[in-house]
A and B are shown apart, each in its own frame.
Chain A
Amino acid sequence: MSRPRAASSVLRRVWPNALATVLTLVFVFPVYWMFATAFKPTGDIISEDPVWFPVDFTFEHFRTAVTADNFWTLVRNSVTVTVLAVLFSLVIGLLASFALARMRFRGRRGFIVAFMLAQMAPWEVMVIAIYLIVRDADMLNSLIPLTVFYMMMVLPFTLLTLRGFVGAIPKDLEESAMVDGCSRPQAFVKVILPLLAPGLMSTSLFGFITAWNEFPMVLILNKQAEAQTLPLWISKFQTVFGDDWGATMAASSLFAIPILLLFLFLQRKAVSGLTAGAVKG
């Protein structure tokens, strides 16, 4: 295919790439700057001229961050709470989404709208009500309330998105499985679940971010260091006596790494299906 005007053709081919390059830089730079700052000695951080690359590489800030009291306990707590919250919401959400996407029953619309409303709950400002409930139930300083409330924070999104995924799977697949002698639950496990994998992954990403980041609730629910999570640890390095930017960035980096890795790992599989879910809404 030849075009009469070569210059314009080159331009046509170049601009998307040029634009994409610029955009990539825009999106990556803050992330890069976080990691770069974390590796720079304090003198290079507080600097009149920015030091673009951490030439005097140092692990000092990471050491500060990691040697903070109870660091590993907090890591364990964060991982436990986040993983459990996401798993529970996936299981519960999947059951419900199957009903909402596949079955006809009275009140179906009402349920859907109810979960959409649930998605709007402003958790940060409900913290004190939750605190009083947990306090009066004698469940403070426990990971259980955190887990279940984080689960609830992500459940509506999980459920509604999964409903889209389930709905996008052709019904005949399931029916043909049932013709082959599978019961409905069997058809679900054997046929639908594998097809849902991308959907489960993409919704779990959202859950991970939400639960991993939560701060106001854990701050007042769990005052014992043994029951706290990582967001409290990050705030350690920003005190009224000033911010330790190096340590803060090192802590932020460490905090971000699991999520970044998870995204890079799950993203490609997740994306292919996410649309299917989102399109349906």
Chain B
Amino acid sequence: MTVQSARARTTALAPYLLLLPALAATLLLLGWPLVKNGLLSFQNLNMRQLIQHLTEWNGLDNYAEVLSSPDFWRVTVRSVLFTGANVVLIMILGTLVGLLLARLGKRMRLTLLIGLVLAWAMPPIAAVTVYKWLFAQRFGVVNWVLDRLGFHSMADHNWLATQFSTFAVVTLLIVWQSIPFVAINLYAATTTIPKELYEAAALDGAGAWKSFTSVTVPFLRPFLYATTFLEIIWVFKAFTQVFAINEGGPNRLTEILPVYAYIEGFGNQHFGMGSAIALLTIVILLALTAYYLRIVLKQEEDEL
């Protein structure tokens, strides 16, 4: 065996060696819980079984019950709409704020950046608590301000009384915390657009709008795709915000899939059922992101 071929072999093995820790971690720490979760989803596992370490297989019962429950489908549709609305708002507003950042003078930009970073960095647990406090029916600042502005009917308005306004508060919270990520990154991305591209566009007689659509947008497209993908995942899984603000209320009307799984499985201590919902949640999230994953698969084919 020559030194050369040994070296070639190492080079061939190198990527796998580099990937090994990540793969091992994923299999052990994610794969195993997923398999375990899968097994639990075929069991009747409640308080009694858990405490006594009993294993009671019940076949597809959990799935049959979940899938035949109108609640589950309602929650699914709601989750999709909720995710869609939030992601659209986040992406549009985030992009606009990002473009604004690019237009600002140095000092103003720094001010806004700091504001954005503060909102972004707020731990969700703390953020939810503050929002609950801002929108409290009595002694909440929002109602007080609305009252002062002349909307006297809002003086004692209960924001968490209806499905729509609860979602409105949750959406505000999520959009507020997500805009910074999109805006700051988008701003940073615009700074990397080569100036020559704009100059070339100007030479071709392009106005502000034209150069935006012909230079900025194409340049940012991959970034926008990637960010949208991330935001879909994050919003879809926004458990803390939705659960903590009103525990899925009123009337369980603001439960999205992760909250539904948690309340059914964990709150009501039907762990097998919860596991089944958890797996179905993953399937639905997969369906939602399939389009992007396909793009990635194709794109990776072209590269390298």
Contact = CB atoms under 8 A, between A and B. Distances in A.
Direct contact of A and B (CB under 8 A): yes
B137 interface: no
Interface string A201-238: 00001000100110110000000000000010010001
B63 interface: no
A281 interface: yes
Nearest to A145: B29
Contact of A256 (B115, B126, B180): B126
A129 B188 contact: no
Interface in A28-44: 28, 30-31, 33-34, 37
Interface residues of B, number: 95
Main secondary structure of the interface of A (DSSP, over half): helix
B214 interface: no
Nearest to B121: A263
Contacts of A249: 129-130, 133
A217 B23 CA distance: 23
A114 B127 contact: no
B123 A256 contact: yes
A130 B28 CA distance: 11
Contact of A121 (B100, B185, B282): B282
Interface of B: 12, 14-16, 18-19, 21-23, 25-26, 29-30, 32-34, 36-37, 40, 97, 100, 103-105, 108-109, 111-127, 129-131, 133-134, 139, 141, 144, 176, 179-180, 184-185, 187-189, 191-192, 220, 222-223, 225-227, 229-230, 233, 237, 239-240, 257-258, 261-262, 265-266, 271, 274-275, 277-278, 281-282, 285-286, 289, 293, 296-297, 300-301, 304
- Name the 10 nearest CB pairs between A and B, nearest first: A281-B226, A252-B126, A263-B121, A96-B22, A152-B29, A99-B18, A24-B115, A125-B278, A99-B15, A129-B37
Given A19-B100, A105-B15, A108-B304, 9 more contacts: A23-B100, A30-B127, A91-B21, A99-B16, A113-B293, A128-B275, A133-B32, A245-B133, A281-B229
